Chains A and B, each alone.
Chain A
């Protein structure tokens, strides 16, 4: 008999396959979130998933929980409203970098300041994937996108500084570092107060393809080469991944 992947019970499995492109990192992060929730022993009752807009915004709909798909950039205030109205609930946010740092940047600043007990998982793919591959707040400098054909002129946003400025939990990981990412989400869920997990993820269709990657696995391997795990620091370098509590 085929074994059952119990963590998949957090998903509405009848809705699979999801609508994301082949090789998209969102599916891996969906799985990571499920595994972390199972590890935390969360139940369907009492857990709420909130997401914003974009490719990652569609993820809330796949969870077999009460979930809210908010307006663009507004996942954080909605999550705060939920948590403050009912403190018993476990409130998680899954959203993208454009949603959280771009249009919703102001809310990130203030949600971390208020230190509400919510966990944010940011699928950071450095691109606006759903709209065709425009430059996003986390796009690396000199990186080529649809709207930066001569290479991005601006530096990416320093989320770590933004979140840790208010002494909140911040973790960075990638889809390649599967166990590390799981640990990050798990510790973020255990953390009381605002916790933020940024997971670098691959978008092959609208980003990698233009930057010369052949497939999404190559993009994941580039994370392996770029990022080194450093769990004993209070400031991560741009090529390090780890947890800051």
Chain B
């Protein structure tokens, strides 16, 4: 089975940099740099961050 991969879409207009996604991500895909959320393309599309983001700022596209 091919590994699931995700493409992270961050809506920076909505993001308030609360850091929930940083903590919730199992593969440490997120980091906050200079008060801005950054991601490193390691997403496995578990969708945890999409659910827990209180600002509806994250949308994860899944590709096989």
Q: In the complex, what's the smallest C-beta–C-beta distance from A195 to chain B, in angstroms?
A: 23
Q: Complex formed: what's the CA distance from A215 to B55 in Å? A: 16
* Least CB distance, B56 to chain A, in whole angstroms: 6
- Cβ-defined contact, A31 with B56, below 8 A: yes
Question: Using a CB–CB distance below 8 Å, which chain A residues touch chain B?
Answer: 2-3, 5, 8, 11, 13, 16-18, 20-28, 31, 175, 178, 215-217, 220
Per-residue CB contact flags for chain B residues 29-64 toward chain A (1 = under 8 Å, else 0) read 000000000000000000000111111110101100
| Residue pair B19, A217 in contact (C-beta under 8 Å) | yes
Cβ–Cβ < 8 Å partners of B56 in chain A: 5, 8, 11, 13, 16, 27, 31
Contacts of B50 in A (CB 8 A): 5
Q: Complex: how many Å from CA A25 to CA B54? A: 6
Q: Which residues of A contact B4 (CB under 8 A)?
A: none
CB neighbours (8 Å) of B61 from chain A are: 2-3
Could you say which residues of chain A place their CB within 8 Å of the CB of B59?
A: 2-3, 5
Chain A residue at minimum C-beta to C-beta distance from B62: A3
Is there a chain A Cβ closer than 8 Å to B27's Cβ?
no
The minimal Cβ–Cβ distance linking B37 to chain A, given in whole angstroms, is 11
Check A216–B20 contact: CB distance below 8 A: yes
Q: Which residues of B contact A16 (CB under 8 A)?
A: 14, 55-56
